[in-house]
């Protein structure tokens, strides 16, 4: 549960209790009002609104700016109506407004939604309404306004601190979880994969040296050495060694060109006629995720299954869909695969898209094939450095 939800719950309870107080105050003094019927009408509307918006004040997501604006409008309306419906003598002697302390709930709502600055703004509006519409700049009005501003700004500042602390804690937990996962993977692969890669590198170099040629074996050994170093750097948390690119990329690449190698007699690629341009890192990661999806089609869809890759170039995002006519899979299969340690979908596909700020959705049912939809937003897709 979010650390700020108890504060929102307290604000919601406060509004209801403040409404009861306002009703009780008016009931005890309505006979002294010049226009008591107008006061009852206003308090009736205030009661309906408070009850209707109680759930909205249960959290920052439901408490929209429209809700807060309506709340502020009702508070200001009640304060101004107090100056028109109450007896001027009572007003001069410090009589309370129609909403009384209910208006403080509005300021607290702004504090919870936008922090202390929005609380100060809402408190200022209510303070001006008090001065202009109910009694002028009296000592009581100034005192109440100061208390309202202090309480609202204090609550807003506390909520801002709570949000910052929660974000810091969440980040720390993510780092801890990543560290634990890295340590677990290091233990699992240290005595297996790394030794195999080192062996392949050594044997490839030896074979190329003894035979006096063997360029293919030398290249295989070199690639194995690169992967070993990259894997060791990943295990220790150090920077990855630079990957040798086939050619320098001076301009953002065309995604379609990166996806074209995946097309063959079983896999059809459909893309716009114009280049689909993305930042180099985003294009490479998206192409790698498509490659992982295509590998899944080749491994699991069957030898006769066909697949289609569709690239959609939109102003806000680039969407790539991979659909096959294979047997599909039952709901819950992906969760079982992750528990069994097969992380192709979660790491190679969803993980890459998550790092880019995008989404990866998988749809399937037995006998209906699989559809993978990868969506990368254009805004923010180039924020991450290419060597991250």
Q: Give the β-pairing of 307-313 and 267-270.
A: parallel
Q: What one-character DSSP code corresponds to residue 260? A: G
- Cβ count within 10 A of residue 245: 9
Query: In terms of residues, how long is the chain?
Result: 388
Plot region of 237 (φ>0 → left; ψ -120 to 50 → alpha; else → beta): left
**Of 326, 285, 283, nearest to 302 (Cα)?**
326
- How confident is the model at residue 228, as a pLDDT? 67
Domain residues of the chain, as ranges? 1-240, 255-377
- How confident is the model at residue 68, as a pLDDT? 93
- Cβ burial 79-94 (10 Å sphere, 16+ → b, else e): bbbbbebbeeebbeee
Cα maximum dimension of the chain: 111
Class assignment of domain 255-377?
alpha beta
Q: Is 318 helix (H, G, I), strand (E, B) or coil?
A: strand
Tokens of 183: 């340590």
Q: What one-character DSSP code corresponds to residue 242? A: P
Tokens of 319: 């969407």
- How confident is the model at residue 342, as a pLDDT? 47
Return the C-alpha torsion angle 350, 354, 359, 360, nearest 10.
-10
pLDDT digits (tens, 9 = 90+) for 265-290: 888 999 998 999 999 889 988 998 89
* Cα separation, 84 vs 110, whole angstroms: 27
Tokens of 269: 């690629």
pLDDT digits (tens, 9 = 90+) for 213-256: 566 666 777 777 777 666 666 655 555 454 444 444 456 788 99
């Amino acid at each position: 549960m979010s650390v700020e939800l108890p504060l929102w719950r307290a604000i919601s309870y406060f509004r209801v209790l403040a409404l009861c107080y306002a009703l009780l105050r008016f009931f005890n003094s309505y006979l002294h009002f010049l226009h008591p019927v107008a006061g009852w009408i206003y308090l009736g509307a205030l009661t309906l609104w408070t009850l209707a918006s109680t759930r909205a004040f249960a959290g920052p997501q439901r408490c929209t700016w429209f809700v807060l604006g309506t709340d502020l409008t009702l508070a200001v309306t009640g304060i101004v109506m107090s100056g028109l419906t109450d007896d001027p003598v009572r007003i001069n002697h410090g009589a309370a407004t129609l909403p009384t302390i209910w208006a403080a709930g509005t300021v607290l709502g702004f504090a919870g939604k936008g922090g202390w600055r929005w609380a100060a703004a809402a408190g200022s509006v209510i303070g001006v309404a008090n001065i202009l519409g109910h009694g002028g700049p009296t000592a009581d009005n100034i005192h109440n306004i100061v208390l309202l501003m202090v309480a609202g700004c204090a609550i807003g500042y506390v909520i801002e601190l709570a949000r910052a602390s929660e974000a810091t804690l969440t980040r720390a937990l993510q780092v801890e979880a990543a560290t634990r996962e890295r340590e677990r993977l290091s233990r699992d692969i240290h005595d297996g994969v790394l030794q195999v890669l080192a062996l392949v590198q050594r044997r490839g170099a030896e074979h190329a040296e003894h035979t006096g040629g063997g360029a293919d074996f030398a290249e295989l050994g070199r690639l194995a050495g690169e992967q070993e170093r990259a894997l060791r750097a990943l295990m220790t948390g150090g920077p990855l060694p630079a990957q040798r690119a086939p050619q320098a990329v001076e301009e953002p690449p065309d995604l379609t060109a990166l996806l074209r190698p995946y097309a063959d007699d079983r896999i059809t690629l459909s893309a716009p006629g114009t280049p689909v341009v993305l930042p180099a890192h985003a294009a490479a990661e998206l192409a790698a995720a498509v490659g992982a999806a295509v590998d899944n089609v080749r491994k699991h869809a069957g030898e006769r299954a066909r697949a289609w890759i569709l690239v959609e170039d939109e102003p806000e995002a680039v969407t790539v869909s991979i659909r096959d006519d294979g047997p599909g899979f039952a709901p819950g299969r992906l969760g079982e695969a992750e528990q069994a340690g097969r992380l192709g979908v979660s790491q190679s596909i969803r993980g890459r898209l998550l790092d880019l700020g995008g989404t990866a959705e998988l749809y399937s049912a037995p006998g209906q094939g699989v559809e993978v939809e990868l969506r990368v937003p254009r805004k923010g897709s180039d924020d991450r450095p290419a060597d991250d």
